[in-house]
Amino acid sequence: MRVVPVPVRSDNYAYLVVDESTKEAAVVDPYDMDAVDAAASREGVKIVANLTTHHHHDHSGGNKEFAKRYPGAPIYGGSEQGHATTVLKDGESFVVSKELNINPLATPCHTQDHICYHVTDPKSSNAVFTGDTLFLGGCGRFFEGTANQMIAALEKLGSLPDETVVYNGHEYTAGNLKFSETIAPNSTGTKRLRELVTNNKITTGKSTIKDEKDWNVFMRLTSPDVLTSTNATAETSKEQVMSTLRELKNKL
């Protein structure tokens, strides 16, 4: 498996997920089909499927054009709102091309139809495409859900193998670092995240689930520094800590 990030709009990412054994690819959130097709041409791959994370236009807005250019290719998603032709259930695994094993993870909160895609291949490669649920050092806004739903979503992602590489929907890492520096300025995780941002203009694909559990404050709800910064104690519910963190981030 090989992953090719395709920058679209000002800060979004689409992705080509390539089966190297066949040179066929699934595309994640192909908002800009011209950019996606140009990337596929450069990489010498044939697009055979569409993995849509959620219905927001900056992620699913290219799906009608995708259907025109690739008639018969499945458009997977969590609801028909994003023009999915195959609506997925949590854990309803399937295979794209020959070796791309796709496990859809329902992560309702940012939107109720949000799906993250855990992709593996026989060579033990692990990747997860997290859309607007998990960002490097952050998480998505709770547009259609609750703090408890985001907790459940991040815990589900956190249960994936530590070496799973994270590919998120936006280049938000620099902003997430600024927030982390207000919540956990002295943590080793924040220091590592600062190094990542300093050394990389594009950060997607340079983090793992293990990294996120180390530096993402939204995945460290019981850590002393997070509790202190949210005026919480060890007895405070995770729901309250998550709600406070999100409110603070929204104001930053």
> 83 an active-site residue?
no
User: What mean pLDDT comes out for the span 66-93?
Assistant: 97
Summarised one tens digit per residue, pLDDT across range 97-120 is: 999 999 999 999 999 999 999 999
Share of the chain above pLDDT 70, in %: 100
Which residue in the list 59, 83, 114, 118 is annotated as catalytic? 59
User: Could you tell me which residues are beta bridge partners of residue 16?
Assistant: 4, 27
Summarised one tens digit per residue, pLDDT across range 167-198 is: 999 999 999 999 999 999 999 999 999 999 99
Domain housing 36: 2-251
CA distance 32 to 63: 9
> 57 an active-site residue?
no
For residue 131, give both structure tokens: 């859309």
> 55 an active-site residue?
no
E strands in the chain: 2-8, 12-19, 24-28, 46-51, 75-77, 86-87, 94-96, 100-106, 115-120, 126-131, 134-135, 138-139, 165-168, 207-208
CA distance 153 to 39: 31
Summarised one tens digit per residue, pLDDT across range 237-249 is: 999 999 999 999 9
Position 112 scores a pLDDT of 98
Which residue in the list 19, 29, 37, 58 is annotated as catalytic? 58
CA distance 25 to 19: 6
Prediction pTM value: 0.97
- Which of the 8 DSSP states describes residue 29? -
Q: Are 107 and 148 in contact (CB under 8 A)?
A: no
Alpha helices by DSSP H, 15-146: 33-43, 57-60, 63-69
- The total of structural domains in the chain comes to 1
Residue 220 belongs to domain with CATH number: 3.60.15.10
Q: Residues of 44-70 as b/e, b for ≥16 C-beta within 10 angstroms? A: ebebbbbbbbbbbebbbbbbebbeeeb
Which residue in the list 29, 32, 37, 56 is annotated as catalytic? 56
Which residue in the list 19, 113, 170, 211 is annotated as catalytic? 170
> 110 an active-site residue?
yes
Q: How many CB atoms lie within 10 A of CB 16?
A: 21
Position 124 scores a pLDDT of 77
Which residue in the list 19, 32, 121, 132 is annotated as catalytic? 132
User: What mean pLDDT comes out for the span 19-46?
Assistant: 98
Which residue in the list 110, 114, 121, 211 is annotated as catalytic? 110
